[in-house]
Amino acid sequence: MVFEKDISKKIKSNSMHLSAFLLDWFDENKRELPFRKNRSLYSIWVSEVMLQQTKVDTVIPYFNSWMKKFPNIKSVAEASEENILKSWEGLGYYSRCRNFHKAAKIIVNDYGSKIPEDWDNFRSLPGVGDYTAGAVLSIALNKNYLAIDGNVKRVVSRITRRKKLSKYNLNYIRSFLSKNIDIIRTGDFNEAIMELGACICLPRLPKCRQCPLNSFCAGYKSGTPSNYPQKSVIKKVPVRTFVGGIIRFKDRILIQKRDSQMLNGLWEIPMKQVTLDSNYIFDFKKYIFDKYGYIISFKKIISEVEHVYSHFKMKLIVMDFINCDDVKNTGNSFSWIYKRDIDRYAFHRANHKVFKLFKSFNWDV
Ligand code: SF4
């Protein structure tokens, strides 16, 4: 982070050329995005949370509908977790959403519904790290903080020909930005360099000829800008196999609510991880009996769906079962729902792929 005092000292000893070129380009070329129209602290914060690990095109419709549904921090705090998760459904990385909900409640209870504008209090909120605090406070309030995301690291590592994103080089990048940031337009500077990374200084094929910073860029002058920074070795993602059961009773199906660190609070069809040598059907029937006391009868395998999470790939074998017992119990953690009510619940993404199968699934078999 860079404080006002620090920048003022640095700015006297450094030329403004790079930031001037960058800001001129940004003023002319920045994309029209919904979160660039409303510059409130709340709206910028929502957009920054949604944009973490997620592409702009994916975020736009979520951002628009979120702002209609939850126009301010109080409306978020007052909403149920179920409602919040439903609005986030499909965006992934649900801990972002849960943390935002927790932060909103803290702001209502401890700050009289006013989002704190100073670094220490804002940074202490759940889900707010250095990047989010720097981006939100600089973009919404033009405060003098850096915001260094993956795009920014790539752009600066190319300009300065830093091969590895080591601790030393990350400090070097931070120091480079501190020296070159525009003290008058800190928020715009942060946004501009991120925008340059997103639109011009692309990971594989940077558009150097169109780049406003090519005269400053050592990577471009080297002739191999995309060699910077060095790619990290991609680890092979393990595959985990699960059986998911569409367990029917008349015209209803059984769903359960997750109570685990991953995807906590979201709904799913009952599913169980299996090993390749196990008897999938037997294991799944036993799992349902042990968990719910239902005796279920296997009908057929419907299909297989795959979904990639950050740390594993899920192979989900979807099977059709009939529940042989009468359905009496519904609790907070499970429910027998009608097919038409599926959209009322927030499911994780792998389940959306399962529900697509419903179109081709003969419900009445
Ligand atoms: S000149 Fe090329 S490599 Fe350098 S910052 Fe611009 S787009 Fe990136």
By three-state DSSP, how is residue 137 classified?
helix
Specify the residue for token string 């050329």.
17
CB 280 within 8 A of CB 244: no
Specify the residue for token string 């349902």.
288
- Please say if 48 is a catalytic residue: yes
> In which band, very low, low, confident or very high, does the pLDDT at 330 lie, cut at 50, 70 and 90?
low
CA distances, 358 to each of 86, 199, 272, 297, 324 (Å): 20, 39, 20, 19, 21
Please list, residue by residue across 272-288, b when 16 or more beta carbons sit within 10 angstroms of its beta carbon and e when fewer do. Answer: bebeeeeebbeebbebb
Protein residue whose Cα sits closest to atom 5 of ligand 1: 155
The residue to mutate among 18, 19, 22, 155, having the most atoms of ligand 1 within 8 angstroms of its beta carbon, is 155
Which residue has better confidence, 260 or 68?
Answer: 68
By three-state DSSP, how is residue 296 classified?
strand
Predicted confidence at residue 44, as pLDDT, reads 98
For residue 225, give the ligand 1 atom closest to its CA: 3
Predicted confidence at residue 27, as pLDDT, reads 97
**Per the omega criterion (within 30 degrees of 0), is the bond before 270 cis?**
no
CB 240 within 8 A of CB 312: yes
Is pTM beyond 0.95? Reply is no
Protein residue whose Cα sits closest to atom 2 of ligand 1: 208
Kindly tell me if the per-residue pLDDT of 35 is higher than 90.
yes
Distance 192 CA to ligand 1 centre (A): 13
- Alpha helices, H only, 306-358: 349-357
Q: Give the pocket of ligand 1 (CB within 6 Å).
A: 155, 158-159, 200-201, 206-208, 211, 213-214, 217, 219-220, 225
- Alpha helices, H only, 181-231: 186-199, 218-222
CA distances, 4 to each of 10, 17, 191, 229, 315 (Å): 10, 20, 18, 30, 51
Domains of the chain by start residue, with CATH: 4-227 (1.10.340.30), 239-360 (3.90.79.10)
Q: What is the separation of C-alpha 293 from the centre of its chain, rounded to a whole number of angstroms?
A: 37
Catalytic residue among 28, 32, 48, 191: 48
Share of the chain above pLDDT 70, in %: 92
Kindly tell me if the per-residue pLDDT of 4 is higher than 80.
no
Mean per-residue pLDDT of the chain: 90
pLDDT one-digit tens code per residue, 89-141: 989 889 999 999 999 999 999 999 999 999 999 999 999 999 999 999 999 99
Predicted confidence at residue 340, as pLDDT, reads 83
> In which band, very low, low, confident or very high, does the pLDDT at 251 lie, cut at 50, 70 and 90?
confident
Share of the chain above pLDDT 90, in %: 72
- Distance CA(232)–CA(150), nearest Å, equals 13
